[in-house]
């Protein structure tokens, strides 16, 4: 961070995406530190941190921002003081306003509540306008930075960025291929495909004539090759398990016997 009143030639402007990434990283680090801090109190009474949670979070955020400003170009004392008031005081007042004014009279409390709601909405509107200006000009990512004249700069001159898209292209290709398979696979009748392949591998034979051949066909399911469970027929001499023939017939209404090619007339 640097003051806008400093030497313009001695600082390097920061890209918009870098400033937005820094804000998101600040939020992520704040949540990470707070989660680690609350894990130290998991054995205490539930809600023990609820009384000073806003103060603890704001103190953590203030320390992080202050250390970052000192690392690059230090701000003036007035800028640091007002930065503290805007970042810490604003959020603390928003979190604690109802606790501070709840003991007052109902009428005055409603007025204060309406004023705070109006001020919060106005700040959000100003923040939106500031964000649009930031996207246009690339400076002052937050409203606080614009009011105080603080902007982000690089500590050292940045070299030309070499962006490689190999990983992104590979991920896009695999993602598109996975979506294509997710859409295509439910349309494929797997059972019918298996029967087609098995019919190609095992040639269709004629109807059995001898009693030995007929008895051999009755001892095994023509689909799974096991002893028939609840044996059923479809109009030909071959026998099927009830589950095998029923599931295949539900998948394919034009199911034919894989041994002789007979169509399903009735399940018996």
- pTM for the full predicted model: 0.41
Q: Are 241 and 229 in contact (CB under 8 A)?
A: yes
Q: Are 196 and 202 in contact (CB under 8 A)?
A: no
Can you give the pLDDT at residue 149?
78
Can you give the pLDDT at residue 135?
86
Classified as helix, coil or strand, 253 is coil
CB atoms within 10 A of CB 190: 9
Task: Give burial (CB, 10 Å; 0-12/13-18/19+) of 252.
Answer: middle
**Which structure tokens are listed for 103?**
């003991």
Q: Are 140 and 130 in contact (CB under 8 A)?
A: yes
HSE-up of 145 (CA within 13 Å, CB side)?
22
Q: Are 75 and 3 in contact (CB under 8 A)?
A: yes
Taking only the tens of pLDDT, the chain with its 268 residues reads: 555 544 444 556 677 777 787 778 877 877 787 778 777 777 776 666 655 555 454 444 433 344 454 444 556 777 777 777 777 776 677 666 666 666 666 667 677 777 877 887 888 899 899 889 888 888 788 888 888 777 776 666 666 666 667 788 888 899 899 999 888 887 777 767 776 776 666 554 444 455 555 556 677 887 777 888 888 888 777 888 888 888 877 777 777 777 777 777 766 6
Can you give the pLDDT at residue 75?
66
């Amino acid at each position: 961070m640097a003051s806008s009143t400093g030497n313009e030639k001695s600082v390097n402007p920061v890209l918009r995406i870098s400033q937005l990434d820094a804000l998101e990283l600040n939020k992520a680090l704040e949540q990470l530190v707070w989660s680690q801090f609350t894990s130290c109190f998991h054995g205490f009474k539930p809600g023990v941190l609820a009384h000073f949670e806003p103060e603890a979070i704001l103190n953590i955020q203030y320390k992080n921002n202050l250390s970052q400003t000192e690392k690059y170009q230090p701000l003036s004392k007035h800028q640091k003081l007002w930065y503290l008031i805007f970042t810490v005081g604003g959020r603390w007042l928003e979190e604690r306003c109802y606790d501070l004014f709840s003991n007052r009279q109902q009428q005055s409390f409603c007025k204060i509540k309406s004023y705070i709601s109006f001020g919060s909405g106005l700040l959000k509107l100003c923040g939106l306008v500031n964000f649009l200006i930031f996207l246009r000009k690339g400076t002052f990512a937050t409203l606080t930075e614009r009011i105080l004249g603080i902007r982000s700069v690089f500590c050292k001159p940045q070299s030309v960025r070499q962006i490689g898209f190999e990983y992104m292209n590979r991920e896009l290709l695999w993602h598109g291929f996975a979506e294509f398979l997710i859409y295509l696979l439910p349309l494929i009748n797997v059972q019918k495909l298996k029967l087609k392949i098995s019919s190609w591998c095992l040639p269709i034979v004629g109807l059995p004539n001898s009693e030995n051949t007929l008895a051999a066909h009755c001892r095994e399911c023509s689909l799974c090759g096991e002893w028939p469970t609840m044996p059923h027929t479809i109009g030909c001499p071959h026998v099927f398990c009830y589950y095998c023939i029923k599931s295949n017939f539900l998948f394919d209404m034009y199911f034919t016997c894989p041994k002789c090619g007979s169509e399903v007339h009735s399940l018996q």
